[in-house]
Structures are given as C-alpha cells and as structure tokens.
C-alpha cells in the first residue's frame, strides 16, 4: 500500500504527529521513512489506529524482538502489557522514567495504544533526555562522565510480591549497572540515563553525592522546555525511543476508567 505520510512536529526537537498512515498496512518504503522520522523526533503520535492485538504485536515486531515483561503481564497475549486504572484500583506511571532500564539490554522503544480514555485528564508527557543533558553545565557533565548507576526492578514491582517470590525473581533478574550518560547507538547523541523509578544510586560515589547527582539530573528532565505533552483519544498510539527519552503519565483523571496496551521492543546494552 502506497501512502503519503505527513509529519507535524509538536516541538522543535521532540515529538511529532504522523498522519496519513495505517500502521497495520505499511509498505517497506513508508516504514523506512518512519524509522528516520522516529530517530529525528524521538516520540511519534498516530490517531485513529484501529489495530487488533495481533496487528499491534506485528507492528512492534517490525522494529525488533518484543519484551515479555515478568511483572506486568496480565492479559492473554504475553507481548501486550495492560495498563489499566479504575476507581477501585487507580494506576498511573506518574514518575519520570524510561521503560525496563533494569534489564541488561533495556528497551529500544515502546508502542502504547489507548483503548479506554477518561473524559478529562490522563495526558502523558515526554522529556528529551539528550536536550536535558546538553543543557547541563560543563562541571556537572565532567563529573558524571564515565559514572554508572544501579538499576533495580524491586523499587517498582517488589511490593506486589511475597518475600519468597522476590528472592526467586531476584535470582532471575539481578541488579544492573548502566552509564549515567548514555550514548544513542544510532544517532551518537548523549543523554541522561538515570531515573527515580528504577535507579537506586550512582555507583562509586558516597550516598550524599549520589543523591545530589540524581536530583540535578531529575530536575533537568523536568524542564518543560525540553518536553512535549499528548492528549489521548481512543485508538491513539504513541511510540517513543526509550534510549533518549523519559515519560510521565499524569494521574489527574481518577476515579475515571483508563486502559492502555503496550508492546515494548527489546534494545541493546547501553554504553
């Protein structure tokens, strides 16, 4: 199927709405163009994508192998993570983070579809981790160059497991150490790669300095001038590059119902 793709940027460097494409029926030429647009804008948004679960999974697989999440898989399809919030069970990923950084080879990207949206609220924000790094002062850049940080799934998912389950999962998923500043494997851009969701501390510095570094990097990510924001509609899809962005889901819609479905593309070891 030959398509005419229209790319509408949300900001000068981060986020773009892509129009005129059907993600369930992309020819190879359009998909190649989409890969370039993805690298250029880091977060892509698509409206009115009435995909089946199989089509969602198939689109994700065009980018690479898919993550099978050990702690957030409650549906019938192991590749699909269901993210649901109800009046009785409110949920929103309301901390700045990048997905599954606790993996030795964290995610390349995530593809999130809105199934049920609240009548108001429930937006998601993304931050450009490379732009945030570029704005750091030279002294801080020099201090964090070459440092690593410890990433641990237990911070987010440990509370839902028994002690025995935590010990069993810890054996399968030990803590990992990734660079504080990650180099994007395709663009070569440097970006902040710490987040409060999964990072416990910066390695090889004392606790006070670790906290100061993490605080300054988190505040850099929180700068509105390097962010974009998306208002969801049913069958909207957002796809983002976890190697150079972080995201935050607002929790301003409770007690309304919200249900999202995500596939996550496996990446490579950060350097």
How large is the average pLDDT for residues 89-95? 92
- Mark whether 69 is an active-site residue: no
- Mark whether 151 is an active-site residue: no
pLDDT tens by residue, 33-42: 999 999 999 9
Catalytic residue among 41, 56, 69, 99: 99
Catalytic residue among 41, 56, 113, 247: 247
pTM exceeding 0.75: yes
Residue 43, CA distances (Å) to 9, 40, 46, 261 in order: 10, 9, 10, 17
Is 202 in contact with 194 (CB distance < 8 Å)? yes
How large is the average pLDDT for residues 214-243? 98
pLDDT tens by residue, 101-125: 999 999 999 999 999 999 999 999 9
Catalytic residue among 97, 103, 151, 182: 97
Predicted local distance difference test score (pLDDT) of residue 74: 67
Percent of the chain whose pLDDT exceeds 90: 92
Sheet holding 107-116, edge to edge: 6-9, 16-19, 43-46, 237-241, 107-116, 258-266, 81-85
- Mark whether 178 is an active-site residue: no
pLDDT at residue 266 greater than cutoff 80: yes
- Mark whether 196 is an active-site residue: no
């Amino acid at each position: 199927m030959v398509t005419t793709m229209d790319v509408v940027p949300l900001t000068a460097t981060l986020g773009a709405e892509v129009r005129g494409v059907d993600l369930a029926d992309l020819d190879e030429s359009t998909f190649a163009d989409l890969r370039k647009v993805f690298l250029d804008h880091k977060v892509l948004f698509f409206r009115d994508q009435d995909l089946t679960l199989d089509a969602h999974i198939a689109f994700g697989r065009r980018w690479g192998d898919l993550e099978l999440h050990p702690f957030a898989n409650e549906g019938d399809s192991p590749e699909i993570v269901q993210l649901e919030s109800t009046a009785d069970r409110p949920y929103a990923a309301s901390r700045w983070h990048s997905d599954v950084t606790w993996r030795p080879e964290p995610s390349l990207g995530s593809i999130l579809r809105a199934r049920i949206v609240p009548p108001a609220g429930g937006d998601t924000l993304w931050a450009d981790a490379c732009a945030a790094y570029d704005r750091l002062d030279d002294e801080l850049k020099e201090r964090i160059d070459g440092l690593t940080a410890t990433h641990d799934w237990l911070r987010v998912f440990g509370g839902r497991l028994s002690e025995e389950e935590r010990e069993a999962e810890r054996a399968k998923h030990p803590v990992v150490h990734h660079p504080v500043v990650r180099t994007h494997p395709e663009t070569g851009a440097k970006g902040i790669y710490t987040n409060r969701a999964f990072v416990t501390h910066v390695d090889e510095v004392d606790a006070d300095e670790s906290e100061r570094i993490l605080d300054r990097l988190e505040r850099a990510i929180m700068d509105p001038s390097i962010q974009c924001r998306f208002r969801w509609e049913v069958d909207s899809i957002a796809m983002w590059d976890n190697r150079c962005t972080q995201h935050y889901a607002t929790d301003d819609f409770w007690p309304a119902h919200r249900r999202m479905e995500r596939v996550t593309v496996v990446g490579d070891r950060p350097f």
